[in-house]
Amino acid sequence: MTPRRPSERWTCISGCGACCRLDPSLRPEALDALSPEQRQTYLALVGPDGWCIHFDTGARRCRIYADRPDFCRVSNLMALFGAEGLDADALAISCCTQQIRSELGGRGRVMRRFRRAIRPSS
């Protein structure tokens, strides 16, 4: 896990969707953290291209965001990995950074926006 600056706080940014790439071959640790029922739901969401069937790749947004499964909510997902509070922030930042880098590039616009979003406000 990447060391976290004490003042960084995780936040989701719009127009990203890197976590919506659900291809099980790329996310075995996510599947391992889920219950059998959650795993079944997760696998049912995987489209033929590996992206969530509810992710609009053109608009880069979730079509069911308000009603998404519990494991799509970062606070719930971090709890599945046993992380709470500041540890959950650090894990979420690390996971998002890795996923954005993998799916969208480490020097792209989305990564820059994410890094700005987690910075402390002055």
CA angle, residues 47, 102, 67, in degrees to nearest 5: 45
Question: What pTM, to 2 d.p., does this model score?
Answer: 0.83
Q: Which pLDDT belongs to residue 122?
A: 58
Q: Which pLDDT belongs to residue 6?
A: 55
Q: Which pLDDT belongs to residue 2?
A: 56
Q: Which pLDDT belongs to residue 121?
A: 74
pLDDT tens string, the chain, 122 residues long: the values are: 555 555 789 999 999 999 999 999 998 988 998 999 999 999 999 999 999 999 999 999 999 999 999 989 988 888 888 888 888 999 999 999 999 999 999 899 999 999 999 998 75
Residue 71 in tokens: 């494991």
Q: Which pLDDT belongs to residue 100?
A: 95
Residue 38 in tokens: 């959650």
Residue 43 in tokens: 């696998």
Phi, psi dihedral angles at 51 (to 5 degrees): -90, 155
Q: Which pLDDT belongs to residue 27?
A: 86
